[in-house]
Amino acid sequence: MLAAEFAIAAYSKATGWSSQAAYMTSHGMTMITPLLGAALAIEAVGSSVSSPGVKARGAAAIMFVYLGIVSIRLHDFWNLANPIAAGGAQTQFFKNVGIMGGLLMIAVYGPGRWALAGRNTP
């Protein structure tokens, strides 16, 4: 279920590259093309390998760090004067913190017994 959020985000980046780039630019970021490309790769590869449990611990650790950086850099509600914008950014920030908690659990404990990787299937 965590992987679904990243798969959707990767799809949004792939299909809405210019709007994603504009959002990053509006937050004062530079080197947009390589950063956006890295974000797309992390989200696409991370969701595709962690979903079945293949390399889930490493993928979850990378996505945990990535999401922490994104949350602080792009959802900085503490810097916004407009209460509506600040409220939306705060919601996104704490949603990401919750997802980070799930990613950290996978990174530490592994994908669990329901993971497809490592199963002996006929």
User: Is 74 a domain residue?
Assistant: yes
User: Is 114 a domain residue?
Assistant: no
What total number of domains does the chain contain?
A: 1
Averaged pLDDT, 19-33:
94
Contact 21, 34 (CB under 8 A): no
Measured between alpha carbons, how far is 109 from 15 in angstroms, rounded to an integer? Answer: 34
Instruction: Check whether 120 has a pLDDT greater than 80.
Output: no
User: Is 10 a domain residue?
Assistant: yes
User: Is 119 a domain residue?
Assistant: no
For the chain, how far is it from start to end, CA to CA, in angstroms? Answer: 25
Q: Please give the pLDDT value at position 117.
A: 67
Averaged pLDDT, 24-52:
92
Instruction: Check whether 20 has a pLDDT greater than 50.
Output: yes
User: Is 24 a domain residue?
Assistant: yes
User: Is 118 a domain residue?
Assistant: no
Name the pTM for this structure.
0.87
Contact 42, 62 (CB under 8 A): yes
Q: Tell me the residue range of the domain where 17 lies.
A: 2-109
User: Is 96 a domain residue?
Assistant: yes
Which tokens in the block code for residue 43?
């989200």
Structure confidence at residue 122 as a pLDDT band (50, 70, 90) = very low
